[in-house]
Chain A
Amino acid sequence: MNEAFEPVLLRRRGVAGSQTLAYYQQDGGYNGLQKALKMTPAEVIKVVSDSGLRGRGGAGFHTGSKWGFLPKNYEGPIYLCVNGDESEPGTFNNRILIEEDPHQLLEGIAIASYATGASVAYLYLRYEYGQCYRTLEKAIEEMYANNLLGKNILGSNFSLDVYLVRGACAYICGEETGLIESLEGKRAWPRIKPPFPAIEGAFRRPTVVNNIETLACVTHILDKGPEWFMSMGVPKDPNNPRDPGSYGPKLYCVSGHVNNPGLFELPLGITARELIEKHAGGVWKGRKVKAVVPGGISMGFLSADELDTPLDFAGPGKAGCLGLGTAAVIVIDDQTSMVDVLYNNCRFFAHESCGQCTPCREGTAWSSKILRRIRDGHGKMSDLKTLEDISNTIGIMPGTTICGLADGAAWPIKNALKKFRPEFEEYISKGQKTEMREALAAH
């Protein structure tokens, strides 16, 4: 099945001129939007809902339901925020989607705006994606010049403006309400929910926040229909009435210790093993896998015995990980110290915590300091207990923090200490050290 899989989202990757409107239109582009404009917004929401599409930004929320939460007959304005902050370590699919095919995304934005009644879409793009920014600027200009944006799009009653907003190198701006605060010109402190953005979002108006890959999928769902989308992926679990299934194509980022790192588009549900061995060229230098990050570092780790885990929305969770996350797979070989890996993760979250919740601010800072001390050769066995305590008490799940950054900081600690405990114990009891050159000690 996988050999035969024809890429959908990456179909135009590497084609000369694929970024231009002319190429996109002669290749069937903007068909989905034209179809949508002949339907009512409610009908468009139903199509997206029926496709089973779930958000690709990390939480896997059912997209049609999210759009359906907006207040009915609202006088406006309603906003769409496009989440292009993509900062979860390991993740780079938004970058390639935009660089290679900006109109595929922009068509999805136009369709989503029509469906939700948004009159303005803000595309929040991480600062680091300068090339994406310039590619989008050009594409948006082409759209305005061709009646695909602005007033009365393609002769309809639908009008839309799209504005690009550049971030400033802060991971927390990817959290949807952090993004909204940043968009509003404030520090990116996530908001307490409820109210959810659908009720009170950007500028206190009803707002939908969607990921870039999610919106790229919307383009194809309108063009080819919900049944087509549901022909790919993993159906609902008949034994679990609450499982919404994992449908459609998915972009898997693979990085770390593989021969062929890159972005692979496959039906949802491929196993980690198949992805690594068949698509990413296997582990480098003839080594073996020690651990695999299934979906960005917030999701924790799969051990070498768990590589047959399917990477659909349900799979990683069954193996004790936080979830599928961004489906960014990072492969760690058997010559790598999990102490070093976990330190790197903890340091990241300590650096990126926005600081407003004490359990997150202190918990991430202390877990990073404790791991630093262990790496310096001064670890104590009781440190492992302290790390575990931190990991069990910070996050939305234990009910102590405002946003999910803290859950993402906790998970790698939990998984590492559960699945790789002997390695940590041995490191401490033997007084092992990891040499750290001075430059790296900086925060």
Chain B
Amino acid sequence: MSALSPEIREKIISYYGRYPNKQAITLPALHMVQEAYNCVSREAINEIADLLELNPTQVVDTMTFYGFFRDEHHPLGKKRVWVCRSLSCMLRGGDELLAEVCDRLHLRPGQTTPDGEMTLELAECLGACDGAPCILINDELQLKVGVEEVLALAKPQGGSKS
């Protein structure tokens, strides 16, 4: 059985015309796969390499450069919530927010709640310093957040942006 659905294979193939070579589709392909499966498995890497005419090591090399992608041993929860820890957020309570969320959820950054609902991550400046402290929920920014709002995201159906 194939690790990638026919839809994803087709979507990857539909990108062929965008770039002068296929290697450039590596990053888009990794995004497509992680979005669909919450991780990029070894089989998926092999199949991406196949479609892009690369050695799987080339895909691994790119994938592991970015802390963003997860292998099948570290899949993401349903929601991925990033708490910013860079300077503007630190100055307005970002560190306290993160520490409090970790304590209350008994999670360390990078970990997922036992029910698989939410993965907590550390972020560097999210580009929303006007709303410090802020978080990123999947790929949507949320400005000026408090502890309770982040905790609510850890509950099933918590938060509207999942």
Contacts and interface: CB of A to CB of B under 8 A. Distances in A.
24 contacts: A87-B125, A89-B88, A92-B127, A95-B141, A127-B139, A128-B136, A133-B139, A165-B28, A170-B65, A185-B23, A185-B58, A186-B62, A188-B65, A203-B20, A203-B24, A254-B130, A255-B88, A256-B91, A257-B91, A262-B130, A336-B91, A344-B87, A351-B124, A437-B99
Contacts of A95: 127-128, 141
A203 B19 contact: yes
A262 B108 CA distance: 31
Instruction: List the 5 closest A-B pairs by CB distance, nearest first.
Output: A130-B139, A185-B26, A187-B65, A439-B102, A255-B129
Contact of A341 (B61, B65, B87): B87
Nearest to A187: B65
Interface string A77-108: 10000000011111110110000000000000
B79 interface: no
Contacts of A261: 88, 129-132
Given A126-B127, A256-B92, A344 B86 contact: yes
A439 B124 contact: no
A129 B127 contact: yes
A371 to B, nearest CB: 14
A263 B127 CA distance: 12
A440 B123 CA distance: 12
A164 to B, nearest CB: 9
Interface string A187-215: 11000000000000001000000000000
A2 B123 CA distance: 36
Given A91-B125, A187-B61, A440 B85 contact: yes
Contacts of A89: 86-88, 124-125, 129
Contact of A442 (B25, B28, B82, B122): B122
Given A168-B68, A293-B87, A440 B130 contact: no
Interface string B122-162: 11111111111000101111000000000000000000000
A348 interface: yes
B16 interface: no
A86 B124 CA distance: 12
B129 A168 contact: no
Contacts of A344: 85-87, 90
Interface residues of A, number: 61
A328 interface: yes
Interface string B98-137: 1101110000111000000000001111111111100010
A5 B138 CA distance: 38
Given A187-B65, A442-B108, A255 B130 contact: yes
Nearest to A130: B139
A152 interface: no
B30 to A, nearest CB: 8
Interface in A120-175: 126-131, 133, 161, 163, 165-171
A352 B66 CA distance: 10
A92 B98 contact: no
Interface string A258-291: 0001110000000000000000000000000000
B95 interface: yes
B85 A171 contact: no
A423 interface: no
Contacts of B99: 437-440
